[in-house]
Chains A and B, each alone.
Chain A
Amino acid sequence: MAQTHRRNQPPKWLHFIIGLAAVTIVILFVVMPLGVIIKEAFGKGFAVWYQSISEADALAAVKLTLITAAIVVPLNTVFGVVMAWALAKFEFRGRTFLISLIDMPFAVSPVVAGLIFVLLLGPRNGWLGPWLADHNIHLVFSTAGIVIATLFVTFPFVVRELIPLMREQGSEEEQAALSLGAGGWRMFFKITLPNIKWGLLYGVILCTARSVGEFGAVSVVSGHIRGETNTLPLHVEILYNEYSFTAAFAAASLLSLVAVLTIVFKSVLERRVH
């Protein structure tokens, strides 16, 4: 037994090289960038960092980012659960096609996604834009546009997480609940939801992280109006382009904090889900 074990192990030198490569990559691509952000953000002292993030435009950006996430995440959670339910528990024509369609926001470049909405909803030449403008509805270059673009980009997270989970669990428990007299809602809240709760939370966290951090699509639809249609990632870009490095990195440090928290939650949840 011990001998087979040893034989299946790679030779020592290979072990060492692989280990070294892994550590180098982690240092180069994770530790050092994070280090740079922290150094630049706090380089001129905590007071300057605090000033940078509490200045009016920064606060507006944080607020818009949070509002966007507060709208997008619940909507995509509900859409995601409904969609996953339909796709996982029922067999119908076009099911596999729909499943691959869900991946579209991942496959399309976010910038293109943003452009799609500008072309669709833009006031002058959009397909629906002129009609919307006539009715005094302005979706592009406003909070609404940012929300729509973010909705699109973050749509797959919850669905993708839930479909395999629901497939694996099947629908027998739900049928059992029905046969015991439960109605549809009762069944959903007592059986379906508890069974998917960890997977759902996992998807929600990824969805939140992305909606906070989304740059490309939002950049195209936002119109970059300071203090109005700037989210945190856009704010970072503007500051950086204006050579306000400390302020840019201070804002970036907030986004990094979100990222780190996401990873912590994710690894805790991963153990629960799988």
Chain B
Amino acid sequence: MSIKIKNISKTFGDFKALDHVNLEIPTGKLVAILGPSGCGKTTLLRIVAGLETPDALPGADIVFDQISAIKSPVNRRQVGFVFQHYALFRQMTVFENIAFGLRIKPRRERPSKEEINDSVHKLLDLVQLSRLGDRYPDQLSGGQRQRVALARALAIKPKVLLLDEPFGALDAQVRASLRRWLRHLHDTINVTSIFVTHDQEEALEVADEVVVMNKGVIEQSGPSNDVFRHPMTEFVMNFLGEVNIFHGRFEEDKAIFGAAPHAESEAKMLVRPHDFAILGHQNSGGIPAEVIRVLTAGPVVKIELADQLKQTLYVHLSHAEYADNPVRVLDKVYLIPKSTRIFRNGESWSGDYVI
């Protein structure tokens, strides 16, 4: 089931939470909406679910498979919604929680008792909680609760699955294992899913496609790899991972760095820490810097340096690269950017540059 989001805006008082958002989500994909808190991502998800009404604008619509759903109330939309804080029914057992959506169906659609029993047990198996059906939510761990919430949402065979920061309230280890599990689950059941997160690592690891949002608008969307490799805006590049920022200015269609920045034609060059090579001697285009700290404990070697403006720079090298060319604190070195992106007024810019 594909989802089309057309011309959706949402205003809370004076605050514009969403500003003319358009987005298409293809059938069967797992898409992450990624952005800092307050960027409107959760509001967008709630509007898709029908838990929030968008501003009445001409052409505003939510379309599930060519069928407009914007007029349907939340209980008719057949969406599975998973809340950040689980929202399990505290008065019911795990089994009853999962059975709820089936038991309240109108009589002619309602499965028989045996069928309900059957589907709940299948779902319990699917979320690997077969033996906890009799427990109450407050007897479960956070990770278990979220899996119950997921099973409950899946019980109604939703057209789309919407997850609002599903791992936000869990600790790091449970998070990591649950998101891998979610990816596997999605590969098994293949229901079109949107999940909202502020954690770029989570988005890039789990989703087929990411949608990066900022201040109520979509900055960029596309396959995770494309968005990560080719960020269109400074915000996206900055949000998707660590960056080193160099300021400069534009002069006759050339970006000049190291020179005094110029307010009107400010150039910014962003370089990821793993996109640097370190040379021990002067070479063309090298940025002179002094080593401040070297951290070798970890999957990559992290080196902290200071450039001539006393700006701190971060470089990540593989252990193999570092072994070929080790540096020590207070060494004077030259940094060669292997891959850079230049931005003009926040937008990606390509052309010649001088460091």
Please tell me if the beta carbons of B87 and A176 are within 8 angstroms of each other in the complex: yes
Q: Total interface residues on A, using CB and 8 Å?
A: 16
A177 touches B89 (CB 8 A): yes
Answer whether A175 and B75 are a contact pair too, CB < 8 Å, given A180-B100, A182-B104.
Answer: no
Give Cα A173–Cα B96 distance, bound, in whole angstroms: 14
Q: Is the CB of B83 within 8 A of A180?
A: no
In contact, A181 and B83 (Cβ under 8 angstroms): no
| A186 interface residue (CB < 8 Å to B) | yes
Is the beta-carbon distance between B101 and A181 smaller than 8 angstroms? yes
A175 to B83, CA, bound (A): 9
Interface residues on B, range: 20 to 34
Select from chain B the residue with minimum beta-carbon distance to A172: B87
Interface string of B49-78 (1 = CB under 8 A from A): 111000000000000000000000111111
> How far is it, in angstroms, between the C-alpha of A179 and the C-alpha of B158 when the chains are bound?
10
| Least CB separation from B158: chain A residue | A179
Which residue of the partner chain B has the closest CB to A173? B87
Q: Which chain A positions have C-beta within 8 A of B76?
A: 181
Residue numbers in A under 8 Å from B147 (CB-CB):
none
B 120-153 contacts with A by CB, 8 A:
149, 152-153
Flag if A179 contacts B74 (CB, 8 Å).
yes
Say whether, besides A180-B152, A180-B156, A175 and B51 are in contact (CB < 8 Å): yes
Name A186's closest neighbour in chain B (CB-CB): B104
A182 touches B75 (CB 8 A): yes
B91 touches A181 (CB 8 A): no
Q: Which residue of chain A lies nearest to B81 when distances are taken between CB atoms in the complex?
A: A179
User: In the bound complex, how far is the Cα of B156 from the Cα of A179, in angstroms?
Assistant: 10
Partner of A191, one of B50, B73, B89, B101: B89
Q: In the bound complex, do residue A178 and residue B74 qualify as a contact, i.e. CB atoms below 8 Å apart?
A: yes
**Whole-angstrom distance between the alpha carbons of A216 and B101 in the complex?**
51
A179 touching B51 in the complex, CB below 8 Å, given contacts A191-B89, A194-B91: yes
Chain A stretch 28-50: residues in CB contact (< 8 A) with chain B: none
Complex contacts, B74 vs chain A, CB 8 Å: 175, 178-179
Given contacts A172-B83, A175-B83, A176-B81, contact A181 B90 (CB under 8 A): no
Tell me which residues across on chain B come within 8 A of A180, comparing CB atoms. Answer: 75, 100-101, 104, 152-153, 155-156
**Min C-beta distance of B192 to chain A, whole Å:** 16
A175, A194, A195: the one contacting B81 at CB < 8 Å is A175
Q: Are A172 and B85 in contact (CB under 8 A)?
A: yes
Q: Is B80 an interface residue (CB 8 A)?
A: yes
Contact A190 B79 (CB under 8 A): no
Q: Within 8 Å of chain B (Cβ to Cβ): is A183?
A: yes
* Chain B neighbourhood of A191, CB < 8 A: 89, 91
Query: Interface code A173-206, partner B: CB below 8 Å = 1, 0 otherwise?
Result: 1011111111100100011001100000000000
Query: Which of A180, A182, A194 neighbours the largest number of chain B CB atoms within 10 Å of its CB?
Result: A180
User: Which chain B residue lies CB-closest to A197?
Assistant: B91
Contact partner of A181 (CB less than 8 A), chosen from B49, B85, B88, B104, is B104
Q: How far is the CB of B142 from chain A (nearest CB, A)?
A: 15
Residues of A within 8 A of B85 (CB): 172
CA–CA, A176 to B81, complex, Å? 7
Q: Which residues of B contact A176 (CB under 8 A)?
A: 81, 83, 87-89, 149, 152
Docked CA distance A183–B49 (Å): 15
- Bound-complex Cα distance A191 to B152 (A): 15
User: Bound state CA distance, A180 and B96, in angstroms?
Assistant: 13
Within 8 A of B (CB), among A132-178: 172-173, 175-178
Q: Are the C-beta atoms of B75 and A178 separated by less than 8 Å? A: yes
Given known contacts A172-B83, A172-B85, is B75 in contact with A179 (CB within 8 Å)?
Answer: yes
Cβ contacts under 8 Å, B50 to chain A: 179
Q: How far is the CA of A191 from the CA of B105 in the complex (A)?
A: 16
Bound-state Cα–Cα, A172 to B42, Å: 14
Complex Cα distance, B76 from A178, in Å, reads 9
**Contact A173–B90 (Cβ < 8 Å):** yes
Known: A179-B79, A191-B91. 13 other contacts (CB 8 A): A173-B90, A178-B74, A179-B49, A179-B51, A179-B80, A179-B153, A180-B101, A180-B104, A180-B155, A181-B104, A182-B75, A182-B100, A195-B91
Q: Hey, which bits of chain A sit against chain B, CB under 8 A?
A: 172-173, 175-183, 186, 190-191, 194-195
26 residue pairs A–B, Cβ–Cβ below 8 Å: A172-B83, A172-B85, A175-B74, A175-B83, A176-B88, A176-B89, A178-B73, A178-B74, A178-B75, A179-B49, A179-B79, A179-B153, A180-B100, A180-B152, A180-B153, A180-B156, A181-B75, A181-B78, A181-B101, A181-B156, A182-B100, A182-B104, A183-B75, A186-B104, A190-B104, A191-B91
